[in-house]
Amino acid sequence: MPLPGFHDVSPRYLRMPHVEKGMAVGLFGGSFNPPHAGHALVAEIALRRLRLDQLWWIVTPGNPLKSVAELAPLAERLRRSEAIAGDPRIRVTAFEARHSVRFTADTLALVKAHNPGVDFVWVMGADNLRDFHRWQRWQQIAMTVPIAVIDRPGATLSYLSSVMAKTFDYARRDETDAPRLARMKAPAWTFIHGPRSRLSSTSIRNAERQRATGAAPAPTDVGEE
């Protein structure tokens, strides 16, 4: 059964992007509520440093670990994502909604089943390492595809002590191996340094709320995606 918001989304977003065998493709998933320049920066760094042929900007129907109370409609988040994803190699997509997928482990299984011969790498901001062990079947995720962790403000050092980083310390690759990461057999992950944006979806929502209501700004987490 399709997830909520399915029928309001253009069919082109609901199809899995086309790829060819032998390609290296980054998978960059999130609520993007709303998307912002910080997300675009992570995508740009991943494309360049991982030498990707494509990057799939996967707008999720909803993050199981986050409240849906302030979640904007899927169609709106897709529209705003496409507006800031400037590189032609980026494919903004919501195929998870069509397949009723909410969890990353299921997304990876679906993607790999439909695209044999394609090398995938999971792309995420460093701030997500903090709660990665709370993701459903998180160890299975790490064993399924290589993972590229892109630096984010406040996460450069502290989140390297996360449960995920400690558990898979043996699988960490040097940053100089980033161009080959997508071709490696999982588990394999690396931390990629680079320019950082302090923008966060939380701070943007708070600012929009303040403008609309005149209320005082709520505390923000600069690492929230």
* Residues 178 and 159 sit within 8 Å (Cβ to Cβ): no
122 strand-pairing partners: 27, 147
**Per-residue pLDDT tens listing for the chain (225 residues):** 444 556 689 999 999 999 999 999 999 999 999 999 999 999 999 999 999 999 999 999 876 656 667 899 999 999 999 999 989 999 999 999 999 998 999 999 999 999 999 999 999 998 888 889 999 999 999 999 999 999 877 656 656 789 999 999 999 999 999 999 999 999 999 999 975 455 454 544 444 445 566 655 444 443 334
Distances (CA, A) of 197 to 136, 200, 205, 222: 28, 8, 16, 9
- Nearest CA-CA partner of 177 in 161, 188, 186: 188
Strand ordering across the sheet containing 54-59? 90-93, 54-59, 24-30, 119-125, 147-150, 189-192
166 CB contacts (<8 Å, ≥6 apart)? none
Spell out the domains of the chain, with CATH numbers in brackets.
6-213 (3.40.50.620)
- Nearest CA-CA partner of 142 in 184, 179, 193: 184
Helix (H, G, I), strand (E, B) or coil at 65: coil
